[in-house]
Structure 1
Amino acid sequence: MPYATNADLPPPVRAHLPAHAQDIYREAFNHAFGTRAGEPDREERAHRIAWAAVKRSYVKDGERWVPL
């Protein structure tokens, strides 16, 4: 299911990512979810794509995600 706002994101995403990274995650997830209609693993793949999008702009430094 697409996410309308960052407040709708899964709790682990909201708890660990800064606001801008959450924006990236939400936009990437929504796009991937929309383009994979009919695929049985659509939601799982959209989450993987969203994390990959975040990792292009952020890196984990200890427990925090920081911009590259």
Structure 2
Amino acid sequence: MSEDAFKRLSYSLNQLFNTISNLDERDQRSLMILRSQLIRTLYWADRCLTDLRLRGEGKRESGDQQKST
């Protein structure tokens, strides 16, 4: 799952940067696209960070079990 989340985050960031590069502030459609891409990017960033946090907790628990045995 985490590889998929990181790929999607990378793709979403690339789309976001492309949209910002072509942004016309007066064009309402451009602003709506930017908003949508920002939301998508934040969603995938959250998924990646959650995955990293869970991995860190798993390693910590594994280390705690090894110390206790």
TM-score of the aligned structures, taking structure 2 as reference length: 0.37
Q: Which has the higher contact order (CA 8 A, sep 6+)?
A: 2
Higher strand share: 1
- Greater helix proportion: 2
Normalising by structure 1, report the TM-score. 0.38
Work out which of the two has the higher radius of gyration on C-alpha atoms and give 1 or 2.
2
